[in-house]
Amino acid sequence: MLLALTSIILLTLDLQGSSATSNVRSVFGTVFSPIEDVVRVVTRPVSNAWYGITHYDDIKSENRLLREKIAQQEGAAVAAAASVRLSQELLALNGLPTLAGINSVTAQVIGESPSNFSTTVEINRGSESGIRVGMPVLNAAGLVGRITQVFTDRALVMLISDPEYALSIKVVNPPETTTATTVPGEDIGTKVTVAPTTTTTTTTPVVVSTIPGFTPGSTTIPSSPSGVTSLTVPVSGILAVRETGILEGQGPQYLPTVRFISTDPRFGAIQIGASIVSAGGSTSLAPPDIVVGTVSRVVPRLGTAGPILEIELVTDLTNLSFLRVLLYQPITERGTP
Which of 4, 71, 299, 302 forms a contact with other proteins (CB under 8 A)? 4
Residue 308 Cβ vs other proteins, minimum distance, rounded to whole Å = 15
Task: Report how far residue 284's alpha carbon sits from residue 336's, in angstroms, rounded to the nearest whole number.
Answer: 18
115 binds other proteins (CB under 8 A): yes
Cα 175 vs. chain centroid, distance in angstroms?
Answer: 22
Residue 164 found at the interface with other proteins (CB under 8 A): yes
Regarding 317 and contact with other proteins (CB under 8 A), the answer is no
- 27 or 180: whose CB is closer to other proteins? 27
Residue 131 burial (C-beta neighbours within 10 Å; 0-12, 13-18, 19+): buried
Distance CA 188, CA 193 (A): 11
| 148 contributes a contact to other proteins by CB under 8 A | yes
Judged by CB under 8 A, does residue 113 bind other proteins? yes
Count interface residues toward other proteins (CB under 8 A): 48
Are 245 and 171 in contact by the 8 Å Cβ rule? The answer is yes
Does residue number 310 form part of the binding site for other proteins (CB under 8 A)? no
Q: Mask 5-34, x = binds other proteins (CB under 8 A)?
A: -xxxxxxxxxx-----x--xx--xx--x--
Cα separation, 315 vs 172, whole angstroms: 18
Q: Determine which residue in the list 87, 88, 118, 230 makes contact with other proteins, applying CB under 8 A.
A: 118
**Residue 143 CA neighbour count, 13 Å, CB half:** 37
- Sequence-ordered list of residues with C-beta below 8 angstroms from that of 62, at least 6 positions apart, any chain: none
Q: Does 135 bind other proteins (CB under 8 A)?
A: no
Task: Output the smallest distance, CB 14 to other proteins, in A.
Answer: 4
- Cβ nearer to other proteins, comparing 162 with 289: 162
Look at phi and psi of residue 47 and say left if phi exceeds 0, alpha if psi is from -120 to 50, else beta.
alpha
HEC readout, 167-231 = EEEEEEECCCCCCEEECCCCCHHHCEECCCCCCCCCCCCCCCCCCCCCCCCCEECCCCCCCCCEE
50 binds other proteins (CB under 8 A): yes
Tell me if 38 contacts other proteins by CB under 8 A: yes
Contact status: 249 vs other proteins (CB under 8 A): yes
Where on the chain is the footprint of other proteins (CB under 8 A)?
A: 3-4, 6-15, 21, 24-25, 28-29, 32, 35-36, 38-40, 43, 46-47, 50-51, 111-118, 120, 148-149, 156, 158, 162-164, 249-251, 253
